[in-house]
Amino acid sequence: MKIIDTKFESQTVTNNMESTRLDFPILKLKVNNKPLVYLDSAASSQMPQVVIDRLSYYHTAQHANINRGVHYLSETATAAYNAARCKLQQFVNAKEDREIIFTSGTTDAINLVMHGYGRKFIKAGDEIILSTLEHHSNIVPWQMLAEETGAKIRVIPINDAGELLIDEYEKLFNKRTKFVSLIHVSNSLGSINPIKSVIAFAHTHGVPVLIDGAQAAPHMSIDVQDLDCDFYAFSAHKLCGPTGVGVLYGKEELLESMQPFKGGGDMIATVSFEKTTYNTIPHKFEAGTPPIAAAIGFGTAIDYLSTLGLDEIHAYETDLLNYATEQIKQIPGVHIIGTAADKTAILSFVIDGIHPHDIGTLLNQDGIAIRTGHHCTQPVMQRFQIPATSRASFAFYNNKTEVDALVAGIHAVKQVFS
């Protein structure tokens, strides 16, 4: 398909990582009279000006409902929406653009697979493999399915560093194993799972694999054909795009075999009160008016990130993580949780005698935004026998000066409690 992104030309962006922060207007904010130090990109990343402009341009000059309108604006919006789908296809190297389903986010994508694949193919006594590292969004849908069908959840354990125990994973397989759903990168610890070999092993047993890529896609290049994953899910708002949109990649033959998730307009071919026939993929899974503007903005965010280069982003962030890890582990009483050999730039830590929420509130006084709590990963917290952590997560628009601010902030917190 030809990519038409009508009349909107992305501004050229810098590819010097240090200066990318100039592309992000929000990073100029002051919070509590201090320069904002935004270290919560694992929860939601910020949007560069080109994405903000793209959203504005869409609403100013292109907005209409898509797919059925015969008028100028509808055709324009439809072309831009389809172009975004093609950008996502290229971003993950999917074979076909129809293997890209727009969802409301990663959670929605996982629920789509649970309803569309799980409820059709997983029966009583069947087993679904998850891991200790999963975000609640990759636990709860499968528990709902297990409750409904009588299927069973099996869990891959982790070691003290926060790495999957691959031997244990392989031992979980038996003839009842029907599905594996696994997080690519742990949102609370940063561990990068060796998903390619995990997927290959599942396939030797004929078991399909869904990868929750919410924390991976923003930080490394993803090639779904090379990984050979059956499903891959991620969200725009962690990839410098807007909230409200995400993607499910699925292999064409699997998507074709699945039942629809939501019923409504656009997902049908014909409707009568006697019988409804469903539309082809991807439309079968996109009932109702999709988040058109957000999807188009997502496409622009993908352009932006691709210009910077995912490999370059990964290298820069790894350097930042190493710098931060070295600084923070030297502070007395501070313990890093999650020390996998292979990590993205996520730094979870606890401080002796100081509750994470108090740390978060006090750092905010210095303009430093971190996340505190269980990060929707209560099984991980239970594994480390802690109620919560403080989590600093870095993006390519962060720099070492901000790491230094965090380190100074932690010292100041300790001072208050001393």
Partner 1 sequence: MNAKSLYQEVILDHNRKPRNYGTLDDASHQAVGHNPLCGDRLDITLNLNDEHIDKIAFHGESCAICKASASMMTAAVKGKTYAYAETMIKEFRDMATGKLNLDNPHHLGRLTVFSGIQDLPTRVKCAILPWHTLHAALNSVAGASTEAEHDPANASTV
Positions marked catalytic: 376
CB atoms within 10 A of CB 382: 12
The span of 43-51, 159-167, 225-233, 351-359 binding partner 1 (CB under 8 A) equals 351-359
Q: 3-state class of 155 per DSSP?
A: strand
Binding pattern to partner 1, positions 289-328, x when CB under 8 A? ----------------------------------------
- 355 touching partner 1, by CB under 8 A: yes
Contact region with partner 1 (CB under 8 A), list: 41-49, 134-142, 308-316, 368-376: 368-376
Quick check: 120 binds partner 1 (CB under 8 A)?
no
Least CB distance from residue 380 to partner 1, whole Å? 13
**Of 43, 358, 369, 376, the one binding partner 1 by CB under 8 A:** 358
Q: Could you say which of 144, 194, 364, 376 contacts partner 1 (CB under 8 A)?
A: 364
> Are 10 and 300 in contact, with CB atoms under 8 Å apart?
yes
Q: Is 381 in the site for partner 1 (CB under 8 A)?
A: yes
Binding segment for partner 1 (CB under 8 A), chosen from 21-29, 129-137, 366-374, 403-411, is 366-374
d(CA 374, CA 378): 6
Strands, E assignment, 49-183? 100-103, 127-131, 152-156, 177-183
* Residue placing its CB nearer to partner 1 in the complex, 401 or 418: 418
Binding of partner 1 by 374 (CB under 8 A)? yes
Look at residue 186 and give its three-state secondary structure: coil
Least separation in angstroms between CB 162 and partner 1: 19
CB of 407 to partner 1, least distance (A): 18
Q: Contact region for partner 1 (CB under 8 A) — 45-53, 165-173, 331-339, 374-382?
A: 374-382
Q: Figure out which of the listed residues 362, 368, 392, 406 binds partner 1, where binding follows CB under 8 A.
A: 362
Q: Which is nearer to partner 1, 50 or 406 (CB)?
A: 406
Report the residue from 329, 357, 400, 411 that binds partner 1 according to the rule CB under 8 A.
357
What whole-number distance in Å separates Cα of residue 27 and Cα of residue 22?
8
Establish if 373 lies at the interface with partner 1 (CB under 8 A). yes
CA dist., res. 242 & res. 171, Å (int): 41
Residue 268, sorted as left (phi over 0), alpha (psi -120 to 50) or beta, turns out to be beta
Cα–Cα distance for residue pair 124/82, rounded to 1 Å:
39
Of residues 10, 93, 159, 365, which one binds partner 1 by CB under 8 A?
365
Nearer to partner 1, 248 or 334 (CB): 334
Residue 345 to residues 38, 163, 386: CA-CA distances in angstroms?
Answer: 13, 15, 21
Distances (CA, A) of 170 to 192, 195, 229: 18, 13, 17
Nearest one of 325, 284, 374 to 99, comparing CA atoms: 284
Tell me the two tokens of residue 344. 């993205």
Tokens of 87: 């950008």
Report if residue 171 touches partner 1, rule: CB under 8 A.
no
Query: Per-residue b/e over 179-209, b at no fewer than 16 CB within 10 Å?
Result: bbbbbbbbbbbbbbbebeebbebbeeeebbb
**Binding residues among 196-225 for partner 1 as defined by CB under 8 A:** none
For the CB of residue 352, give the shortest distance to partner 1 in the complex, in Å.
13
CB of 379 to partner 1, least distance (A): 13
Give yes or no for residue 97 binding partner 1 (CB under 8 A).
no
Residue 388 interacts with partner 1 (CB under 8 A): yes or no: yes
Decide: 409 and 372 in contact? Cβ < 8 Å.
no
Q: How far apart are CA 412 and CA 418, in angstroms?
A: 10
* For partner 1, the closer CB: 189 or 345: 189
Please measure the distance between the N-terminal and C-terminal CA atoms of the chain and give it in whole angstroms: 63
Do residues 228 and 234 lie in contact, with contact meaning Cβ atoms separated by under 8 Å?
Answer: no
Annotate 274-286 with DSSP letters as a single string.
Answer: S-EEEPPTTGGG-
Q: Considering the complex, what minimum distance in angstroms separates the CB of residue 373 from partner 1? A: 6
Judged by CB under 8 A, the stretch of 14-22, 175-183, 194-202, 360-368 that binds partner 1 is 360-368
Residue span binding partner 1 (CB under 8 A) among the ranges 15-23, 41-49, 236-244, 359-367: 359-367
Q: In sequence order, what are the beta bridge partners of 157? A: none
- Residues forming the site for partner 1 (CB under 8 A): 354-358, 361-362, 364-365, 372-374, 378, 381, 387-388, 416-417
